[in-house]
Amino acid sequence: MNQNIMSTDEAKEASVAELLEKLSSSERGLTASEAKERLRLYGPNEITEKKTSAIVKLLGYFWGPIPWMIEIAAVLSAVLHRWEDFAIILALLLLNVTVGFWQEHKADNAIELLKQKLALKARVLRDNKWLEVSASEIVPGDVIRLRLGDIFPTDVKLIGGDYLLVDESALTGESLPVEKHVPDVAYSGSVIRQGEMDALVVATGMNTFFGKTARLVEEAKTRSHFQKAVIKIGDYLIVFALALVAFTFLVVLFRHESMLEFFQFALVLLVAAIPAALPAVLSVSMAVGAITLAKDGAIVSKLAAVEEMAGMDILCSDKTGTITKNELVLTEINPFQDFSENDVLLFASLASRGEDRDPIDDAILARTKTLQGFSGFAETYRVLSFKPFDPVSKRTEAAIEDSSGNRFLVTKGATQAVLALLDSKVTMDSKDTSGPRVDEYINDFASRGYRALGVGRTDAQGSWHFAGLIALYDPPREDSAETIRTAQSMGVNVKMITGDHIAIAKEISRQVNLKSDIMLATSFLDMPDRKAEEIVDNADGFAQVFPEHKYHIVELLQHRGHIIGMTGDGVNDAPALKKADAGIAVAGATDAAKSAADIVLTKPGLSTIINAIKESRKIFQRMNNYALYRITETIRVLLFITLSILVFKFYPVTSLMIVLLALLNDAPIMTIAYDNVKYSDLPEKWDMRTLMSMATILGIVGVISSFGILYIGLHTFQLTPEVLQSFIYLKLSVAGHFTIFVARTKGHFWSVKPAKPLFTAIVVTQIIATLITVYGFLLPAMGWKLALFVWGYALTAFIITDFIKVRVYSLLNHTGIKFHI
């Protein structure tokens, strides 16, 4: 973001100062009733905004690239005084607009509900109680609690605590974090890198500095690989249609035929070629898939990630909370020097804070509750100040006063961080506190999968002493081994990435059936890119990894052509989550991680990710099936009509019939979003060679079939031109929907049962098409005898085409891929 947006600190302070003056409450926080009233008075009018956007979208359906062609066809019908055609085309246009708008409106509403589940949470002081509420419910005057990993949900004035280290790069473009103290102002969208403070809310929503800035900046929209592929298909179909129309135009011009009639026919021919249902099919399919994933505990924040998940071939999985339970248990205490186990536990508990719900703190405090009388003893000590954990110092620290008034400091954290506090002379003279001796205990713990933390305290002179080690164990989840095995069977290589000791990583890998070739991050950092890529690609996992290493790992793997999924939960995981093709924030992730991720898990463990992979591959299959159907139908209909005009000088269907074909076929194809499909055991990717080859073959088979029934209508039944057109129309309509059943499976059409919505939609629309031709509503009547013959002919051609399809797939070497429901 350009720094001109925020030019000076004075301008920022002035914008917030105006809001501070409006606050009637002091720095005590609001009552629930006061907060509710403020929300009523100052909340945005979302209903008006939704209505406005809905109207704009509805108007867009009338003037989009597809409707305007139908509108011109309607105008030409009026010029030619074909008033019946004019009225019918106009009615069908309105029907298409209504159906398309309604389907996308439902999809948008579904996505909006999912986004609400991703809303940022905040701890708010209401009625003198700390409550967790949605960020959208925060109002000016609230007092909120902010800590490491949080994103500022509002503009705030800091009123309590030591300090915050704040990343304001989203606003200023400056990469270096800024230190904030009482009574500084901080801004919505900033990320807390260190510290913990209380703050008074001064502005919310679009009244924040970030909100005002957002009005000036239009977000760039990018297309996913999937969208690009489908758009390429659409472009191909349009170019194909334009080529046929241009060639037909030259022939009509040479024959001196009616140009007005040709232009009307050419326009509706283009309508048949354009994938009119494309936007609705995309929206509905993605929305349906997103809703299904949400039910399984995976909320999709960026729909393009669904396609990326389908093609993901490497999953870089965080260990803690994903492969393991993230339920730490304090298993062993190893005291040093003259300290006892109870001393070590006491110091560790004093360096912990229960209200922060930190897993390590919870494990330590839970252990203290198992010892009789320990809680009462600990209460004789008073915590004067507390510094929460931050990733730079890698420890917590508290200032303590005992019952006698003596003061000292306690700390707990990474063992090397605690050892670094010790005076070198004290370290060497103290029993069992030399670095090598401590490393022996750490390695012993790690070999059993335990994580070691160091505990220290100061003496009367302020010198630090190493009190001992505590061992924490985070056991693997019961389903991790089976889930990893399933992922591997689906062609996804799982690489475990952890900041823990390499011995812990290897032990956990062994327990969950991952390979044990775990590398240190230092093994590839100083290597040339090609060598580093090879090392990262061949490794089974990485230990003692820092956040910047995760980003580099993702980057190197992407350079090797892999589609990468990355899990994470912390604020420092955000860059890697953003860089990955599919960033996955695990259950309990920080706001920063959720914002950077494409998918947010609400359930712990890898099994939810596996479900997301399966569902995304199903969505991919539905869209691939739709693409195959759409290309096949365009080739079949356009080529048949064009050749009929050029060779037989006969229009096999009227303009109205083409409009009916386009609209009646688009209605049921939307239900393909609910169809039963098979997901591949291998990562998905667009195979345009196979897609185009199969579509071309099926299209040509359809053209041959259409000429066959044209011959029968002319020479066997000797139908009049008008009835023959109804005869051909019904065949094109019925055979077109049989093409859906051909396109939706790799095997024979009976290998996968179609979903009820798809089957019902097809049956209903074809009954309508049959009744129209039988009784002569809109089109010349032809009776039940001819209609039943068309159905029998189309059914026979469908079965033959299905066998040809299976044979062609076999020749294209696709029979070796396994599929599952």
Name beta bridge partners: 641.
Answer: none
255-264 long-range contacts, Cβ below 8 Å, gap at least 24? Answer: 255/649, 260/76, 260/79, 260/80, 261/80, 263/76, 264/73, 264/76, 264/77, 264/80, 264/655
* DSSP structure string for 665-682: HHHHHGGGGG----EESS
Q: Is the dihedral of CA 734, 735, 740, 746 positive or negative?
A: positive
Cα–Cα distance measured from residue 298 to residue 584, given in angstroms and rounded to the nearest whole number: 9
- Main-chain phi, psi angles of 789, to 5 degrees: -65, -45
Decide if 233 contacts 687 (C-beta within 8 A): no
Pairing mode, strands 679-680 and 819-820: antiparallel
What whole-number distance in Å separates Cα of residue 499 and Cα of residue 513? 20
Q: Residues with Cβ < 8 Å from 606, sequence gap 6 or more?
A: 317, 322, 323, 477, 479, 480, 483, 484, 487, 494
DSSP 606: S
Structure tokens at 766: 């074809």
- Hey, what are 359's tokens? 């897993």
Contact 378, 344 (CB under 8 A): no
Residues 519 and 553 sit within 8 Å (Cβ to Cβ): no
CA angle 141/591/588 to nearest 5° reads 120
Three-state secondary structure along 287-331? HHHHHHHHHCCEEECCCHHHHHHHHCCEEEEEHHHHHECCCCEEE
Q: Cα separation of 591 and 603, whole Å?
A: 16
Tokens of 194: 């260190």
Rg over alpha carbons for the chain, rounded to the nearest Å, is 34
Beta bridge partners of 208: none
Active site (catalytic) residues: 318
Which of 773, 796, 799, 794 is closest to 785 using CA atoms? 773
The answer to whether the peptide bond before residue 476 is cis (omega within 30 degrees of 0) is no
